[in-house]
Structure 1
Amino acid sequence: MNENNSNDLQTIITQVIEEMKSEQGDKFDPNKINLAEMGRRTGLTRAQLRRIKANGFLVVPHALTGRKAASTIISGYRGVIDDLLKKNVSNSEVILERIQEQGYTGSLTTVKRYISEHKDLIPPKRQAVAPQGNRGRRYTSDAGESYQMDWGFVNVDTDNNTSYKVACFAMICHHCGERYIEFFPNAKQENLFIGMIHAFKRMGVPDHVLTDNMKSVVLYRDSEGHPVWNHDYEAFMNTIGFDTKLCRPRHPFTKGAVERLVRFVKENFLAGRVFGTITDLNYEAWKWCDNQNHRYHKAVDCIPHKRHSVSCMKNASLLKDTFDVKKYLCPIRCISFDGFVTYEGRRFGIPYSYGKHLCRVQRENFTLYVYDLELRKILITHDVTWSRKDSFCKDQFVDEQPEEKPSVLIKISISQKTETPKKSAFAKFAFGGGRNE
């Protein structure tokens, strides 16, 4: 019983006693108050009134008030929650999802209460030294007109006490908020093309894409401020059929939708997550995107997938699976002297029968496909195990021993005489042969 309830109950008891005293006059005796009548007026039970009467009609707190159970439903998950709070993961829904994967059956309110009682574990927020500038103005775009894209980076800690970085490609429709994310080992230009093509296959090709001044997109600006595109990126734009608009340098607010998406991925999807391989991480990322795209979002006041399929897809063009598009999904690789190609930091063997020095490589899920340079046939397939060991293939090396050939014209000659066979020791017993001579 809290203090407010105690005060209210005390007021009711005092008022009822005063009423009974005014009715009975001089005959009123506090020790002889009719508890049944008092119960009808206050709504309290006979047992409650006896306890209050024993205290002189003073409402006192219960003896067990404030006492907490030694073990609750959330006690077995304190270690997990504390670890997330120390990593600055304070989103109650994210924490609830993480502990539900381990068998938690309690409510969200219990998690929120635990977080509020252990705020000391959360690292302090960074203080802004200077204001961000004057107030900006939001702008809108028509359906299927503009997408925003960007890279995000996250550190991955391994069991071997080492760490490395992975890149997260993010693209979002500015009109409806339809989103797509994909993780890559790095943010090279070939991975940018692959991520954009995968996003276009799901979301359609817009009129233009809004992005930063990346090295893989633009080289520099001319004297009039016009962008000088990267040659490969310009060819990619012409192949797919879209335009690109660049943000003002050092002004991320221009493409705030995708900036917020990257932050949301880090705070919601990546918070406290453990994964096996990047392929597994992408499976979980695509499931997360589908879940978010089918939820109502207050910022856009709609369910993104419904609005995108109804409005945006009417104006966005469909991406055709042509030979030129497939070339960007299969980047070129050089074959080393020992018959390997390197892709995503791992080496894969190539058959000896393929005599060229260049080939094309594409990974789909857990399978790596190696094509010839013209994409006419598949040379070999490998199971991607994400191990750092080299993956050999059948017939990578021939069984014959290698033989050196002369590299310059041979100018030296020598002579060899015919060797006569030696006579056997039994030749002297060949009498017949002597008579013939």
Structure 2
Amino acid sequence: MNENNSNGLQTIITQVIEEMKSEQGDKFDINRINLAEMERRTGMTRAQLRRLKKNDFQITPHALTGRKADTTIISGYTGVIDDLLKKGVSNSEVILERIQEQGFQGSLTTVKRYIQSHKYLIPPKRQTVAPQGNRGRRYSSDAGESYQMDWGFVNVDTGDGTSYKVACFAMICHHCGERYIEFFPNAKQENLFIGMIHAFKRMGVPGHVLTDNMKSVVLHRDSEGHPVWNHDYEAFMNTIGFETKLCRPRHPFTKGSVERLVRFVKENFLAGRVFGTITDLNYEAWKWCDNQNNRYHKAVDCIPHERHSVSCIKNASILMDTFDVRKYLCPIRCISFDGFVTYEGRRFGIPYSYVQHTCRVQREDFTLYIYDLELRKVLITHDVTWSRKDSFCKGQFTDDQPEENPSVPVKISITQKKEDPPKSAFAKFAFGGDRNE
């Protein structure tokens, strides 16, 4: 019992005793006080009142007050929590998820108490900029009408002290908040198409997509302010069957839902995360999306997946798996002179029997599929190990080594003398005859 509760309870008991004393007058005796009446007035149990009566109804602190156990339920996980706090991760739910993966059985309140008492480990935040005082109006869209998409970037620290960037594609339904994220080694246009197709397969194709003025979408605007689309992106829009609306330059508030999603991914999903490969990271990302889509979100006042499956998906069109769609999932790659194609920064071998100079490549999970240009035949498959070493394949080279022919006419001639035949080992015994026989 803490000090505040003790003081409040002591005040209640004293007040009840004074009331009973004023009602009984000279007949009042504290040693013969009616415990049943005190139980009714104070709300305490009869056993508690008997214990207090032995001490003249004075509440004294417990003998173990202020003492703490040497080991608690969180003791074995303090190192992990301290490391997260030093990295600036102070979200109690994120920390709880990280230590639950290692076997923690405690509650969220226990984690919050530990964070509250160890706030000194959290690095100071940078100074925030004063608000500009502008005001905008939030707008809403009908079910299945509008999605928002954007890229987010994160630095990946390796064990050897180097780092590199990975790109996170994010898309969210503006009506219900259904979300989808996927990580790629870079933010090239082909990866944008792959991420959009994967999102459309899960969420349906909307009426239009809201995005910013990225170069893979729009080249520039004409004199009247109309966008001049990237020709590859324009062909992609016509193939899938949706329109694109652009935000005003340098005005991220227009697509605030996806901007907030990117921030939420960085602060919740990526905070303190350790992963093996990008494929492993995507597995965890999709699991995280399913978890978030099936939770209540106050901003949209619903469970996103339930509302999306009831209303949004009915108004969105279904993406059909046609050849025109599959070709965006399998980008074209040129074959080098030594029989390799480059995909996601790694080189993979092509069989020598394939005589074309280009092919199509697709990665699904931990397998890389290499097709011909018409997607009719799988030329070879590779296990994606994410190693920087070249991946050779069987039949990549022929057994006969190539022969170089002279590139200019040969004009120089030399003479070789006739070689004498070797002498026989018995020639020295041929007396009077030919010693060469």
Interval containing the TM-score (normalised by the shorter chain):
0.7 to 0.9
Shift of 1:17: 6.7
- Contact 1:16–1:41 (CA<8 Å) still a contact in 2? no
Q: Does 1:12 align with 2:13?
A: yes
Shift of 1:6: 2.7
3-state DSSP of counterpart to 1:362: strand
Please give the residue correspondences for 1:86-165 in structure 2 after superposition, counting only pairs within 5 Å: 86-165=86-165
What whole-Å deviation, never above 9, does each CA across 1:315-371 have from its counterpart, x for those lacking one?
A: 211112222211111111121222111111111111112222211111011110111
Q: Does 1:299 align with 2:299?
A: yes
State the identity %. Answer: 80
Q: Partner residue of 2:43?
A: none
Structure 2 counterpart of 1:233, one-letter code: Y
- Contact 1:39–1:49 (CA<8 Å) still a contact in 2? no
3-state DSSP of counterpart to 2:175: coil
What whole-Å deviation, never above 9, does each CA across 1:10-68 have from its counterpart, x for those lacking one?
A: 5524652784598574x9887xx34xx36445445476236524xxx543322322222
Specify whether residues 328 and 108 from structure 1 end up closer, same or farther in structure 2 by C-alpha distance, changes over 3 A only.
same
Q: Does 1:260 align with 2:263?
A: no
Question: How many Å separate the matches in 2 of 1:330 and 1:390?
Answer: 20
Specify whether residues 50 and 130 from structure 1 end up closer, same or farther in structure 2 by C-alpha distance, changes over 3 A only.
closer
Shift of 1:414: 10
Question: How many Å separate the matches in 1 of 2:76 and 2:347?
Answer: 44
Q: Partner residue of 1:396?
A: 396
Structure 1 counterpart of 2:164, one-letter code: Y
- Contact 1:10–1:59 (CA<8 Å) still a contact in 2? no
Structure 1 counterpart of 2:110, one-letter code: T
**Superposition TM-score, scaled by structure 2 size:** 0.87
3-state DSSP of counterpart to 1:154: strand
Question: How many Å separate the matches in 1 of 2:8 and 2:154?
Answer: 54
For the aligned residue pairs, the C-alpha RMSD in angstroms reads 2.9
Question: How many Å separate the matches in 2 of 1:243 and 1:194?
Answer: 17
Q: Which deviates the most, 285-294 or 38-47?
A: 38-47
Q: Partner residue of 2:361?
A: 361
Question: How many Å separate the matches in 2 of 1:222 and 1:410?
Answer: 62
Q: Partner residue of 1:326?
A: 326
Question: How many Å separate the matches in 1 of 2:127 and 2:357?
Answer: 55
- Contact 1:6–1:60 (CA<8 Å) still a contact in 2? no
Question: How many Å separate the matches in 1 of 2:133 and 2:249?
Answer: 15
Shift of 1:177: 1.1
- Contact 1:10–1:58 (CA<8 Å) still a contact in 2? no
Structure 1 counterpart of 2:7, one-letter code: S
- Contact 1:86–1:122 (CA<8 Å) still a contact in 2? yes
Shift of 1:391: 0.6
Q: Does 1:78 align with 2:78?
A: yes
Specify whether residues 302 and 58 from structure 1 end up closer, same or farther in structure 2 by C-alpha distance, changes over 3 A only.
closer
Specify whether residues 18 and 260 from structure 1 end up closer, same or farther in structure 2 by C-alpha distance, changes over 3 A only.
closer
Q: How many pairs are equivalent? A: 421
Question: How many Å separate the matches in 1 of 2:324 and 2:336?
Answer: 26
Shift of 1:220: 1.2
What whole-Å deviation, never above 9, does each CA across 1:174-214 have from its counterpart, x for those lacking one?
A: 11111111000010111001101111111111111100110
- Contact 2:203–2:313 (CA<8 Å) still a contact in 1? yes
Question: How many Å separate the matches in 1 of 2:399 and 2:260?
Answer: 58
Question: How many Å separate the matches in 1 of 2:120 and 2:168?
Answer: 31
Q: Partner residue of 2:167?
A: 167
- Contact 2:6–2:59 (CA<8 Å) still a contact in 1? no
Specify whether residues 7 and 328 from structure 1 end up closer, same or farther in structure 2 by C-alpha distance, changes over 3 A only.
closer
Structure 2 counterpart of 1:194, one-letter code: I
Structure 2 counterpart of 1:391, one-letter code: S
**Superposition TM-score, scaled by structure 1 size:** 0.87
Specify whether residues 399 and 62 from structure 1 end up closer, same or farther in structure 2 by C-alpha distance, changes over 3 A only.
same
- Contact 1:293–1:304 (CA<8 Å) still a contact in 2? yes
Question: How many Å separate the matches in 2 of 1:134 and 1:216?
Answer: 30
3-state DSSP of counterpart to 1:52: coil
- Contact 2:10–2:58 (CA<8 Å) still a contact in 1? no
Structure 1 counterpart of 2:99, one-letter code: I
Structure 2 counterpart of 1:246, one-letter code: L
Structure 2 counterpart of 1:395, one-letter code: G
Gaps of 5+ in 2: 40-45
Q: Partner residue of 2:316?
A: 316
Shift of 1:142: 1.3
Q: Partner residue of 2:207?
A: 207
- Contact 1:13–1:42 (CA<8 Å) still a contact in 2? no
3-state DSSP of counterpart to 2:55: helix
Shift of 1:120: 2.1
What whole-Å deviation, never above 9, does each CA across 1:121-176 have from its counterpart, x for those lacking one?
A: 22333332231441110101111111100001111112222211111000111111
